[in-house]
């Protein structure tokens, strides 16, 4: 695959990845899309639960296995290294689209907030969750995280230099602000159906497992630097005693 082709591929992969997140804003918030997460049930509960479990499991396996160093080492024998991250973004976007488009609503109301002010506040919290998630990617390097920087440097015939590990922005207060955003947007909703509750619970469990795998890789890469960061910075519940941003010499991990 030539340099220009890899760059075009990375841009297309980025577009698909971003499109899946935009669709998720509507799907999880019950805006505009026909098969939103809180839509009425159309199949029996047992079948819906099996289908949804398989969909979420496939997404979780793809999202975590493809991010592990051992998989990347094997995968880059097949996929050009400058396109590896873009391929991850593409596969993640497709897996997320499949999860949303094939998801089977379960029906049933867990809670339904009818007070206009409280509904507005919950929707605002949902929006804040998305804002935390997206802005946290820019605290690191959004375009490196989503595979564009690697492809652009390759297209420009410049070597890919790993970014230094740093703790800017939200990372001063919590180790995993992207996951804080995910959990926030999964749970804050004025209408919680059984379907939505199942998704939020599965997301939370997956995140707790993913953090263990990710931090194991980060310790292997950064050693004592990351151990100190882990000891001084909370995992998911922010501590708002403002710590100075820290920059380390070693590269940060892209693993989600």
DSSP, res 44: -
Name residues whose C-beta falls within 8 Å of residue 124's C-beta, 6 or more positions apart in sequence: none
Residue 165 lies in a domain: yes
Looking up tokens 């996929």, which residue turns up?
Answer: 79
Residue 256 lies in a domain: no
What pLDDT band is residue 159 in, cutting at 50, 70 and 90?
Answer: confident
Residue 252, pLDDT score: 40
Residue 204 lies in a domain: yes
* Residue 87 neighbours by CB distance under 10 Å: 19
Residue 26 lies in a domain: yes
Residue 47 lies in a domain: yes
| Span 11-59, pLDDT tens digits | 999 999 999 999 999 999 999 898 899 998 888 889 999 999 999 999 9
Q: Tell me how many domains the chain contains.
A: 1
Structure tokens at 254: 């892209």
Name residues whose C-beta falls within 8 Å of residue 42's C-beta, 6 or more positions apart in sequence: 104, 105
DSSP character string of 130-174: HHHHHHHHHHS-HHHHTTHHHHHHHHTT---PPPEEE--GGGGT-
Name residues whose C-beta falls within 8 Å of residue 26's C-beta, 6 or more positions apart in sequence: 32, 33, 36
Residue 91 CA to residue 16 CA, distance in Å, equals 9
Residue 30 lies in a domain: yes
What pLDDT band is residue 96 in, cutting at 50, 70 and 90?
Answer: very high
| Span 50-89, pLDDT tens digits | 999 999 999 999 999 999 989 999 999 999 999 999 999 9
Residue 133 lies in a domain: yes
Q: What percent of the chain is predicted at pLDDT more than 70?
A: 93
Tell which wins on pLDDT, 252 or 114.
Answer: 114
Name residues whose C-beta falls within 8 Å of residue 30's C-beta, 6 or more positions apart in sequence: 36, 37, 38, 39, 191
Residue 241 lies in a domain: yes
Domain membership of residue 10 as a residue range: 3-251
Looking up tokens 């695959």, which residue turns up?
Answer: 1
Residue 204 CA to residue 184 CA, distance in Å, equals 10
């Amino acid at each position: 695959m030539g340099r220009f082709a890899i760059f075009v591929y990375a841009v297309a992969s980025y577009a698909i990845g971003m499109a899946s997140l935009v669709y998720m804003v509507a799907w999880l918030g019950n805006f505009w899309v026909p098969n939103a997460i809180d839509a009425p049930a159309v199949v029996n509960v047992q079948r819906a639960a099996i289908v949804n479990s398989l969909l979420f499991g496939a997404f979780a396996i793809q999202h975590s296995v493809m991010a592990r160093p051992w998989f990347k080492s094997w995968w880059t024998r097949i996929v050009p290294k400058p396109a590896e991250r873009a391929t991850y973004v593409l596969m993640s976007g497709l897996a997320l689209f499949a999860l949303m488009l094939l998801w089977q609503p379960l029906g049933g109301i867990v809670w339904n907030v009818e007070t206009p002010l409280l509904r507005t506040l919950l929707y605002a919290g949902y929006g804040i969750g998305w804002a935390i998630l997206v802005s946290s990617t820019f605290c690191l390097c959004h375009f490196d995280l989503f595979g564009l920087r690697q492809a652009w440097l390759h297209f420009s015939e410049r070597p890919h230099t790993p970014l230094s590990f740093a703790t800017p922005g939200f990372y001063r207060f919590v180790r995993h602000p992207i996951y804080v955003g995910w959990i926030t947007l999964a749970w804050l909703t004025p209408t919680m159906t059984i379907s939505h509750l199942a998704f939020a619970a599965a997301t939370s469990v997956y995140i707790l497992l993913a953090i263990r795998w990710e931090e194991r890789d980060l310790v292997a890469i950064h050693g004592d630097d990351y151990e100190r960061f882990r000891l001084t910075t909370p995992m998911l519940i922010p501590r708002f005693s403002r710590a100075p941003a820290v920059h380390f010499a070693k590269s940060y991990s892209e693993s989600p």
